[in-house]
């Protein structure tokens, strides 16, 4: 899985990160304790930084805060560093450090961080409880972990059907789609906010807060087709000969234009979870 993220990091940055970014940034609003304590966190850990959305936002949100951002994919880290260099002023950039590491094995001493955050990562780890316990280890007593991830949901998304139909008509629907989320040894989406909160407590956190919300993203027909072709199923499309690819693209585009505009609004459940390491 990490090799696939390495290979598709640039495409993730262009096509998928913008879908997740507003929900990820909302996590920091929920985790920001300065409304009650005017002292911002001195040191923050971004677990599974991906293309750096949370790390960059932390550097902007809390002047003076040091941010350590880790990810198991070196390709994603390269993109994150580039995004930080492009979007942050030199003083803010100097407070962000990127390093290769996975959530279950963090290269930091006990009680290092005031806050740990993670966005759409803990569904991918092989053992979420182990990752939560590792976060508990590196957060100081009184410090917090805040994360957001998917809630299990099998609601169909209408624009998928026209694309599948175009692939089926070309005899390609049963081919290996080459996407980034095959069957893997991973924890998977959480069942509910209550289940997520219970698991946080098992990891040792207290004063646990968990709430479901809805991630909403409005696609266009052209944007969705570009997303499928360039990110969701890139290998499948790249393996087609030029004529087949053009025909599938044109057929899918025609079928997508038959859908009403409201069909392109993707709404899917997520859960925000925040817990505190006891003093």
pLDDT at site 46 = 98
* Tens of pLDDT, residue by residue, the chain (279 residues): 888 899 999 999 999 999 999 999 999 999 987 656 678 899 999 999 999 999 999 999 999 999 999 999 999 999 999 999 999 999 999 999 999 999 999 999 999 999 999 999 999 999 999 999 999 999 999 999 999 999 999 999 999 999 999 999 999 875 444 444 444 678 999 999 999 999 999 999 999 999 999 999 999 999 999 999 999 999 999 999 999 999 999 999 999 999 999 999 999 999 999 999 999
Tokens linked to 208: 């646990």
Q: How far apart are CA 20 and CA 18, in angstroms?
A: 5
> What is 2-153+185-219+267-276's CATH topology?
Rossmann fold (3.40.50)
Using CA atoms, how far residue 106 sits from 45, 72, 134, 262, in Å, is: 10, 10, 7, 43
pLDDT at site 35 = 58
Tokens linked to 67: 């941010």
Domain positions in the chain:
2-153+185-219+267-276
- The pTM assigned to this predicted structure is 0.92
Q: Go through 15-33 and write b for each residue having 16 or more CB atoms within 10 A of its CB, e for each that does not.
A: bbbeebbebbebbbeebbb
Q: How far apart are CA 62 and CA 127, in angstroms?
A: 31
pLDDT at site 177 = 44
Rama region for 142: left / alpha / beta (φ>0; ψ in -120 to 50; rest): left
pLDDT at site 184 = 62
Tokens linked to 97: 């450090």
Rama region for 162: left / alpha / beta (φ>0; ψ in -120 to 50; rest): alpha
Q: What is the DSSP code (8-state) at residue 105?
A: B
pLDDT at site 180 = 42
């Amino acid at each position: 899985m990490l090799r696939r993220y390495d290979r598709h990091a640039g495409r993730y940055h262009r096509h998928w990160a913008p879908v997740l970014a507003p929900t990820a940034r909302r996590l920091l609003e929920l985790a920001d304790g300065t409304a009650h304590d005017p002292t911002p966190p001195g040191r923050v850990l971004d677990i599974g930084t991906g293309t750096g959305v949370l790390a960059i936002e932390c550097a902007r949100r809390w002047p003076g805060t040091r941010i350590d951002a880790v990810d198991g994919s070196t390709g994603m880290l390269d993109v994150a560093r580039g995004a930080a260099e492009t979007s942050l002023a030199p003083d803010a950039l100097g407070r962000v450090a990127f390093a290769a590491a996975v959530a279950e094995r963090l290269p930091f001493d006990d009680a290092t961080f005031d806050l740990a955050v993670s966005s759409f990562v803990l569904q991918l780890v092989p053992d979420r409880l182990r990752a939560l316990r590792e976060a508990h280890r590196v957060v100081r007593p009184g410090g917090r972990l805040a994360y957001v991830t998917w809630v299990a949901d099998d609601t169909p998304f209408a624009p998928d059907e026209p694309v599948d139909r175009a692939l089926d008509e070309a005899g390609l629907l049963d081919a290996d789609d080459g996407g980034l989320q095959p069957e893997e040894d991973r924890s998977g989406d959480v069942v509910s906010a209550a289940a997520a909160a219970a698991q946080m407590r098992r990891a040792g956190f207290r004063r646990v807060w968990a709430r479901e919300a809805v991630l909403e993203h409005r696609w266009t027909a052209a944007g969705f087709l570009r997303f499928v072709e360039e990110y969701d199923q890139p290998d499948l499309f790249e393996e087609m000969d030029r004529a087949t690819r053009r025909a599938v693209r044109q057929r899918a585009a025609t079928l997508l234009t038959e859908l009403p505009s409201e069909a392109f609004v993707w709404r899917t459940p997520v859960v925000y979870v925040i817990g505190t390491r006891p003093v």
